[in-house]
Amino acid sequence: MAEIKTRCLIIGSGPAGYTAAIYTSRANIAPLMIEGYQPGGQLTITTEVENFPGYPEGVTGPKLMEDLRAQAMRFGADIRPGFVKEVDFSTRPFVAKTDNDMTIIADTIIIATGASAKYLGLDDETKYNGMGVSACATCDGFFYRGKKVAVVGGGDTACEEALYLSNLAAEVYMIVRKPHLRASKVMQARVHEKENIKVLHNTITAGLYGVDFLEGAHLVEFNGTPEQREYDLPIDGFFLAIGHSPNTEVFRPFIECDHTGYIKVKGETTATNIPGVFAAGDVADPLYRQAITAAGMGCKAALDVERFLTENA
């Protein structure tokens, strides 16, 4: 079992992790990054990204992550494959163990493990991921201007996604399995005021269809009742809005999280309840969940690490 010592361990990649690696490398901290089970994060399964500064013609998600990774490596970041399966933050220096038998002794930690979108569990969701299926209306809604889309979910997030899409798409369907919306009264009112949003209550998605790209959804109304009705809904986009799960399980014995598992940070910083441990990106951001905000948090985390190391040399 290899043992490695580092001044800063970055757990996870994506915009937050790679940006933290760029900044800590340029500060001569010589960070070590363990990329995680999905190197590059959620953007590696995203097709076109048109809202990240510096790419006037747009860029694919994988290419954007390749560029950030290459920039971090240019400044000397030690980036390795693997998944952190165990940590001990009870004393400093901290200890992390990976699935490929590495033990890492770190003076500081940046957690950038992100959050995973919740899916329905349909095989078709994987088949059409990036080909009509998305978990981020803000990221991908632009590609559905004048088209028909559906949003799955009945809470505030689903309503927000539907309202955002209603300003772009010709028609927006909300697929809601319950006979009512769970969203706040204010959000419900806004949805009902929009003429191009139609709420499909008591409805579940049984599957998706299409040749090369998504062409529609197989829906079931009043599932399991005498009134059950199956029908197809032609749509161009299918947006999941049933929540995200922050990837924080391994840290929860030590790190303070909110009731949904997102890491709590102190004030305007990226500091956690453990001095020397910082969090950046979607793992600590249930609100914005954008590549650019994650990158910004990665920058902040790197600066917080530099300051911490200076004060605790």
Q: Which residue has the tokens 């800590």?
A: 24
Cis before 93 (ω within 30)? yes
Residues near 285 by beta carbon (within 8 Å), at least 6 away in sequence = 262, 293, 294, 297
Annotated catalytic, 159?
Answer: no
List, in sequence order, the alpha helices (H) in 128-219. 137-140, 156-166, 185-193
Is residue 304 flagged as an active site residue?
Answer: no
Sorted by sequence, the CB contacts under 8 Å of residue 186 that are 6+ apart come out as none
What is the identity of the amino acid at 161? E
Rounded Cα–Cα distance for residues 59 and 53 (Å): 10
Catalytic residue among 8, 139, 159, 257: 139
- On whether the CB atoms of residues 50 and 142 are closer than 8 A, the answer is yes
One of 107, 124, 140, 236 is an active-site residue; which one? 140
Contact (CB, 8 A) for 152 and 242: yes
Of 272, 278, 275, 248, the C-alpha closest to 260 is 248
> Choosing from 136, 159, 282, 304, which is the catalytic residue?
136
Residue 92: HSE in the Cβ half-sphere, 13 Å Cα cutoff: 14
Rg (CA), the chain: 21
- Identify whether the C-beta of residue 84 lies closer than 8 Å to the C-beta of residue 98: yes
136 labelled catalytic: yes
**CA atoms of 281 and 296, how far apart (whole Å):** 8
Q: What residues act catalytically?
A: 136, 139-140
